[in-house]
Amino acid sequence: MKKGLLVLIVTVLAFPLKADEGMWLLPLLKQQKFPEMQALGLKLQDYDIYSPDSSALKDAVVIFGGGCTGEMVSSEGLLLTNHHCGYGQIQMHSTLENDYLTNGFWAMSREQELPNPGLTVTFIDKIEDVTDFVKKELAKEDDPNNMNFLSPKYLNGLAKTRAGDAYLQNNPGLSVEIKPFYGGNVYYMFTKKTYSDVRLVGAPPSSIGKFGADTDNWMWPRHTGDFSVFRVYADANGNPSEYSEQNVPLRPKRWLNISLKGVQENDFAMMMGFPGRTNKYYTSWEVAERRDIDNTVRINIRELRQQVMLEEMLNDPAVRIQYSSKYAGSTNAYKNSIGSNWAINKHNLEQVKKVEQDKLIEWGRKNCQPDYEEALLSLEQLIHERKDLRFRSWMLDEAISRGIEFTRVPTDIQTLCDALRAKDKAEQQQQLRLLEMAYKRFKDKNYSAEVDKKIAKVMLEEYRRLLPPASQPAYFSVIDKRFKGDVGRFVDDLFAKSVFGDERNMQKFMSSPSAKALENDPMILFAVAVQKEKAALTQDLANFEDGYAIAHKTYVEGLLKMYGDKANFPDANFTLRLTYGQVKGYTPHDAVYYRCQTTLDGVMEKEDPDNWEFVVPDQLKKFYAEKNFGRYAMPTGQMPVAFSATTHTTGGNSGSPVLNANGELIGINFDRNWEGVGGDIQYLPDYQRSIIVDIRYVLFIIDKYAGAGYLLNEMNIKE
Ligand code: ARG
Ligand code: ASP
C-alpha cells in the first residue's frame, strides 16, 4: 500500500503536466519532449522538425496576417490557411456582381490571383535564448523596479542593438523581436522575415468554408471546409517586396508534403503555429475574477445585444448583410466565454490553481524562500482591490464602448470650432470637409442607425441597472435629470438632435455651421463622456498593473524552481510553438461518445436550404449523390470532412498545419470544441479537442469541386 502511494506521489510530482498538454518552444523540444513524441508514434528526428542551423519543417510555418497561422505547400509560394483567416480579403474583393464570399473564388492562372494591400506573411528565421543578455542589460538600469522587463519598446530596442543596424538594413523585410516568457523570467529573440505581396488564389463559397457558421462555431462534430489558398510573392532575389508585377512566386526554404492516407483514432498528430494567449499561470483569484467579472459581463451583455441584432437581421436582408460580420465577431467571443465558465465550474479550476499555489507556499516555507508566498499575498490583495474598477471597466467596454456604435462618432472638433469662431473661411472649409469624411467613415455601409438606436436603449438600460450613478460617466446624469430616467427618450433625443443623428441634421449643420451647435451636440457629448470614463478607468487600473506584473513574475519563478528540471511550457504569446497529441474523439456527456472523424454524410444531415448557415451548394450535393470523390474518399467510400485531436491549441492556431508521424500535412486546424476552451486556463485532457479540416476534403474541393486541380500539380501529394 505504502509503496503504491509513494509511486503515485512521485509520478504526480514528476509529471505535473497532463499527457498531450503543452505549447512547446522549438529550441527546447529535443530536451523536453522528443522521447515522448516518439513513444506516441512520431517517426521523425528532432532536427527534421526544428534545427537552428539548417532548414526543417518549422520553415514551412508562417504567421498569416495579424493573428493566424499558415503553411507553405509548394516550391512556388503556395500557402494554405483558414477561410475565416482570409475572410477579410475575400470580403474586400467581393461585390454584388462578383460575390466571392457567396460563390467562392478561384484564380485559374497566376494572372488572375488578387493582390491584398496590407496583408503580410512572416517566416521565423531564427529563435535564440537571450535570457542572460536581457538580464544583464536590465541589471544596468538605475531603477530596479522599472517595468522594462516586460516593455516591448525596451526589449525590441535591445533586439535591434544585438542584431546591428547594418544587418537589418542589408536584409529587406527582416525584423527582430525579443519577447518575455514565463512572466519575464526567460527571453527569446526572434528574427523574422515579412513578405507583403500575398495574393488570393482561391476560396470555397461560404456555404463550404463557413458551413454551420455561428451555430456550429466552437462545436464538434463539425462539417466546415474552413480553408483558403494564397500565394506569396517576392522580388527576383527572393526578398520581400511590395506588390509589383515584376515579383515572382517565392521559393520558400521549406514546403510541406501532403498525405492522402488520412487518420485513424489514436494516430499521432502534431501542429506548429502561433497560439495567441493563454493563462495557465493564473492564481485561483484570477480564475474567479475571470469567471465572475470578465466572462460574466461579456456573456450577459452580448446576449442582450445579439438578441436585438439577430431580430433585426432576420427582419431585413439588408441588415443581415450589414451586421453578419459584427454578429459573428460578437458570438465568437461570447460562446468562448460560456465554455470558459462551464470549464471553470465543472473542473473546479479555482481549486486546481489553489492546490498548485498552496504547494508552492509549502515548498517556499521548507526552503526558506518567503518571496513566493509574499507574491501570492500581493496578488490576492491586488485582485481583490481592483474588483470594482474591473467590473466598471468591463461593463463600460462591453455595453457602451463596443456595444453602442455611436460612441465612435467623430469627437475631434476643436480645430473646426476655432475656425468657425475666428471666421477663418479657408480653414473652415477644410475642417468641414474633414468632418464630413469622418462622418462617412462612421456611417459606413455596415451601419444602421435604427439597429444602433435599438441596441443603445437596451445597453444603457442594463448598464444603468447594474452600476450605481457614481460609477457611471457624469454626463449620464442627464438621463435622470432631463428624461426622468427614460433611456428610450434619451436615445431618441440624441438621434433627433445630433448632427450625426441623420442625414438631414448633417445637411442642416453644413449649410449653417456653428461652433455652439457642435459643442452642445448630444452625441458628441455622449461619446466624449464615454472616452473620458474609459481613460479614467484605464488610468486607475494601471496603478495595479506594475504590482501585478512583478508579483506574477515572482510567482511563476517560484513554480519553475519548485518543479526544477521538469518539462514546462510558457503561456502562449503569439510565438511559434509545437503541440502534439493524438487523433481522438471524446465523451461530452454520460453515455455519449463523439467519434474523431466527420464526413460529407454529416453535411447532408445538417443541410437546410431555408437557413443560410446550413445551405449546401447544388454541385456538392451532386458529387455526394454520385459518390464521386475520386482518390480523396476514405476506404469506406465516404468523403472525410474534419477530424478532432488532443493537441493543445488556442486562438492564433487557426490555419496551423496538422502533421502525421512522418511530418506530412493531414489537415488544417481551425477551431476547438466549446467544452475545451477552458484549456486556456487549464488543459482538459478528456474534453479539449482541436478541430481540423481534413486535407483530403481541402484537395477534393480545390480539385473536383472548384476545378482548380492545376494547383495540385505544384504540391507533393502522397497517396
Ligand atoms: N471559433 C473559431 C476561432 O476562434 C472560428 C471563428 C470563425 N467562425 C465564425 N463563425 N465566427 O476563431
Ligand atoms: N478559431 C481559433 C483561431 O482563429 C482557434 C481556436 O481558438 O482554437 O485561431
| pLDDT tens-digit series, residues 474-490 | 999 999 999 999 999 99
Domain end residue (candidates: 163, 195, 227): 195
pLDDT at 23: 98
Integer Cα distance of 183 and 560 in angstroms: 11
Contacts 24+ apart (CB under 8 A), 540-548: 540/389, 541/386, 541/389, 541/390, 541/393, 544/382, 544/385, 544/386, 544/389, 546/145, 546/147, 547/378, 547/382, 548/379, 548/382
What cell was used for 257?
508534403
Q: Is the dihedral of CA 699, 703, 706, 711 positive or negative?
A: positive
Radius of gyration of the chain (CA): 27
Ligand 2 atom with the shortest distance to the CA of 69: 9
Domain tally for the chain?
3
Integer Cα distance of 353 and 348 in angstroms: 9
Find the largest Cα–Cα distance for the chain: 93
Say which ligand is closest to the CA of 648: 2
Q: Indicate whether 504 belongs to any domain.
A: yes
pLDDT at 95: 83
Find the Cα–Cα–Cα–Cα dihedral 564, 567, 573, 578, rounded to 10°: 170
Domain end residue (candidates: 167, 195, 223): 195
433-448 pLDDT, tens digit per residue, is 999 999 999 998 889 9
Q: Indicate whether 433 belongs to any domain.
A: yes
Q: Indicate whether 603 belongs to any domain.
A: yes
CB of residue 336 inside a 6 A radius of ligand 2: no
Cα distances from 343 to residues 47, 218, 291, 323, in angstroms, run 37, 14, 10, 30
CB of residue 651 inside a 6 A radius of ligand 1: yes
Mean pLDDT score, 296-321: 94
Domain end residue (candidates: 513, 548, 583): 548
Q: Indicate whether 429 belongs to any domain.
A: yes
- Which residues participate in catalysis according to the annotation? 84, 226, 654
On whether both 407 and 526 belong to a single domain, the answer is yes
Strand partners, 223: none
User: Is residue 313 scored above 50 in pLDDT?
Assistant: yes
326-378 pLDDT, tens digit per residue, is 898 899 999 999 999 999 999 999 999 999 999 999 999 999 999 999 999 99
Angle at 135 between CA 129 and CA 140, to 5 degrees: 145
CA 708 to centroid of ligand 2, rounded, Å: 27
On whether both 483 and 539 belong to a single domain, the answer is yes
On whether both 76 and 173 belong to a single domain, the answer is no
Residue linked to cell 511590395: 242
CA 652 to centroid of ligand 2, rounded, Å: 6
Residue linked to cell 522599472: 146
Residue linked to cell 457558421: 213
Average pLDDT of the chain, as a whole number = 95
User: Is residue 1 scored above 70 in pLDDT?
Assistant: no
Q: Indicate whether 555 belongs to any domain.
A: no
On whether both 453 and 502 belong to a single domain, the answer is yes
Confidence band (pLDDT; 50, 70, 90) for 18?
low
Here the CATH number for the domain that contains residue 33 is 2.40.10.120
130-156 pLDDT, tens digit per residue, is 999 999 999 998 776 789 999 999 999
User: Is residue 96 scored above 90 in pLDDT?
Assistant: no
CB of residue 657 inside a 6 A radius of ligand 1: no
Say which ligand is closest to the CA of 652: 2
Q: How many CA atoms lie within 13 A of 601 on its CB side?
A: 9
Residue of 6, 85, 17 lying closest to 566 (CA atoms): 17
CA 305 to chain centre: 22
Q: Indicate whether 563 belongs to any domain.
A: no
List all residues 6 or more positions away from 286 whose beta carbon is below 8 Å from its beta carbon. Answer: 279, 353, 379, 383
Angle at 234 between CA 230 and CA 239, to 5 degrees: 135
Mean pLDDT score, 231-255: 97
pLDDT at 595: 98
Residue of 292, 334, 339, 336 lying closest to 309 (CA atoms): 334
CB 521 within 8 A of CB 498: yes
Ligand 2 atom with the shortest distance to the CA of 336: 7
Say which residue, 21 or 567, is predicted with more confidence.
21
Ligand 2 atom with the shortest distance to the CA of 654: 9
CB of residue 214 inside a 6 A radius of ligand 1: yes
User: Is residue 7 scored above 80 in pLDDT?
Assistant: no
Provide the domain limits for residue 590: 1-120+199-278+569-719
Which residue has the least CA distance to atom 2 on ligand 2? 651
User: Is residue 3 scored above 60 in pLDDT?
Assistant: no
162-203 pLDDT, tens digit per residue, is 999 999 999 999 999 999 999 999 999 999 999 999 999 999
